[in-house]
Structure 1
């Protein structure tokens, strides 16, 4: 084996797809999830371990580090995360704190916790799974966009501070076919009630209804995304940033070429913002 990789957030989506993709590339994989029973159907083998891990819980992180101490751990893939929907004007402080706690603070806590084990190998690699939204924002997902902007900043700062001793790769996917949008809808809570009588309700409901269809039409499968990550990770020098998906590349090009007022008009029109 090339060594071991620990992946957070393996219950669904990209994290789940990364388990077979990394194993196929010769890595042993420590697959983690807050609910380890969601990992039960992963094929057994000497190159797989399953662990319970909640990146927001210091005790859970400490236990996971201890469970990996006997491994030749070389890779950490910070994939755990979710999205809080809603317009900025109606975003409560508690909503924003919860979003940042998992996507940013939890990611950083996992990085700090596992770096000592990774450094033992002399070939430490950290993969921060961000989003193409770490370079732009869209309406009705400001909290999620803010968290991914922070992930990009943390990745770049770690790369500059650690130098060649820690190879840091920021992954920037576009739309991915996964359960992310179902999770997003479940996270609405009382938001529809709070938006009653505001101009945001109709665009918010349309946004949620459109996301799954859009991912199906334009997004990559989680397996295809994971294969790209696994291939890039296996290179002697992984790329600093890995943009994944045709839609992500088109968005970057449009943002770069269009004047700001025209870009913003197009985005607002796309999201029905008047």
Structure 2
């Protein structure tokens, strides 16, 4: 069994066949899926998906792309959402300077607010960082100095320097289908260097389908394909990689119950 630590099952891409998508994931050996919130104002939609399936859990947060839409979000909003027993993380928060869909000051403010929510709740923060490495590292160092919190650098595709900084701060690092792409040699080298107890795997579905599904809609079942490549990169077999990343997921997302305690009915 394996965990897809980051997907977006509430997105309209899955509206017509979500039951089938979840069933295919189960058949592929995916025992847990974490569907990630991108707008705290739409948390109810994410929550309903998590409530519908016993093996799906969720987060509460605001994506940097949507930070400009939710400048009125308060710490209380995140704390209230995080009370739900299916919420296992805060975010996805962070910085995206590639698209700049939201003003950078709104992204920065949202990032810091959700760090405080993670600190208050004890839930891990899911971090998105794209072309914003210097600011991401600076904020993480500043905020860790104010009070520690757990976090994960999700869908990692940044530099070895940011990976090292994250590990130094105690963060986890998660790899998506990007690690399977033909031109991702540098990323595969980073993936090979991550300590075994800090490694996770994800789909970020519906985006970034791994080989051999590239060009199609991604879905949680395909986390198995990413994990197989990640296992090759690290010189272990698939079962070993699955056990390692699953143990890490349960250690990080402590509110998520282990496989044997939930039946996927």
TM-score (norm 2): 0.38
Structure with the largest fraction of helix: 1
